[in-house]
Structure 1
Amino acid sequence: MSIYRIKSGDTLSAIAKRNHTSVGALMKANPQIKNANLIIAGKKLNIPGSRDSFDHGPTRPGGASRPGGTSRPGGTQQTQGPSTTGPASQGPKGSPFDIAKAQLNKNAGSLKLEKGGVGSDMEDWVPNNVNCANFVSACLEQAGQIKNSQHHNAVVGLQANLDKDPNFKRVSLAQAKPGDVVSMKTPGGHHVVMFAGMKNGKPEFIGSNNINKDGSQRISFTQMNYPIMSIHQYRG
């Protein structure tokens, strides 16, 4: 989530369009706004998920991405997990990887409304197409690896929080364990998932991905070719 200072002549709809979000999402992120047609120049505005977008990266031979983030058979999205995973990262309350796997194939929009478990730690105002950091944060919370105050709905915000936490250390892909937090740079901004192991010699990830036809996210395994910005491993 980023911050924008309202300028004279701005409208909420125009701000939403520029930041690839909706008026409804802006109002949820800014509860101080009671009237969508009345915003005040000079005031700060929370922009939800403006840089937490995700589009599929280049697909492997035999598959091509469709508009909306879905893929044809043989594309990047996987319905089954990796063939081998190795030892998973553990927190005081369990493994974030195992916690994420238990949510497999659930729509992020529905998961946020569940009482208890991962859903209770996800913030329900976050738009359904940008829940990647919201989901990963919730899995880390459920595993006891981070506190609620470290939860962040923006990829770079979560990345910064993990950098500040002495229980986390940046590692290479060769050192990664299932459940490690992987932040990536995408054409539309950033995306965050968790390492899930290797499959057919390539890294597999699990997270909240834009694979539904309407562009919303669902918990899934996927292989992506985006540049990795960081991999955080819990060492607590």
Structure 2
Amino acid sequence: MSTYRIKSGDTLSAIARRNQTSVGALMKANPQIKNANLIIAGKTLNIPGSRDSYDGGQSRPAGGGSRPGGTSGGRPTQQTQGTGGTTGPASQGPKGSPFDIARSHLDKNAGSLKLEKGGVGADMEDWVPNNVNCANFVSACLEQAGQIKNSQHHNAVVGLAANLDKDPNFKRVSLANAKPGDVVSMKTPGGHHVVMFAGWKNGKPEFIGSNNVNRDGSQRISMTQMNYPIMSIHQYRG
């Protein structure tokens, strides 16, 4: 999700056309707008679009052996030693582990998952485009685990990270100290991406999340290795 500063003469419909989205999606992304025909120059809009995504075509899997953005084919196991670190117990919330919750949805398309009436799907916001569901999915997993409230759900990577920074139950940790289920925000060539740490495989970190792995650019829940720069890792300590 990117942002846009409204200019004099702009209309919501024109902004939507330029960004290949809809007026309805813009209003859902900007709940402060009550009237689609009344926007104020100088204000900033959230634009649902392509910035919060995993651009598999511009990154090689860090460990090799799986195509960019694809599933690695493995599962992290408890206390598996690799040269990069040790996979310990998964992060736990009052209602379970966000990692286990995410893993239960492996290989589901984000667009289909959002239609499910219960669980993670019910906590994902339907209006988010199917190519930018990474923060939507991670937020929903954290909600299902009881680690965050619905009010902390955010569909932008930087917005979710900011909410976790404000939450005293979360602390920033290094990759060496990460547990499965920790929230990992990354800087990508196209913007940002957020996943959850999934453990170590062959000495390399794996991550699970909603990734742009489908041929049409839409996202699917997958587990893979990535080599994007890490901006932050948030660990639940509640």
Q: Is the shorter-chain TM-score for this pair beyond 0.5, marking a shared fold?
A: yes
Aligned pairs for 1:1-236 within 5 A: 1=1, 4-12=4-12, 15-16=15-16, 20-23=19-22, 25-26=25-26, 28-29=28-29, 40=39, 42=41, 45-49=45-49, 51-56=51-56, 57-60=58-61, 74-76=66-68, 77-84=70-77, 85-236=87-238
| Structure 1 residue 27 displacement after superposition | 5.0
Distance 2:100 2:166 in 1: 25
RMSD, aligned α-carbons:
2.7
TM-score, length-normalised on structure 2? 0.83
TM-superposition CA deviations, 1:69-94 (whole Å, max 9, x none): xxxx7323225333434310000100
Give, in angstroms, the shift of residue 121 of structure 1.
Answer: 0.7
Q: How much identity, in percent, do the aligned residues show?
A: 80
Conserved? CA contact 1:58–1:224, under 8 Å: yes
Offset of 1:222 from its aligned partner?
1.3
**Which runs of 5 or more residues in structure 1 are unaligned?**
64-72
Letter in 2 for 1:183: S
Q: Where does residue 80 of structure 2 map in the other structure?
A: none
How many equivalent residue pairs? 224
Is residue 82–residue 204 contact of structure 1 (8 Å, CA) maintained in 2? no
Distance between the aligned counterparts of 1:6 and 1:55, measured in 2? Answer: 28
- Which moved further from structure 2: 93-102 or 22-31? 22-31
Do the aligned partners of residues 44 and 58 (structure 1) sit closer, same or farther apart at CA in structure 2, a change above 3 Å counting? Answer: closer
CA contact (8 A) 1:29 1:48 kept: yes
SS in 1 for 2:108: coil
Long gaps (5+) in structure 2: 78-86
TM-score, reference length from structure 1: 0.84
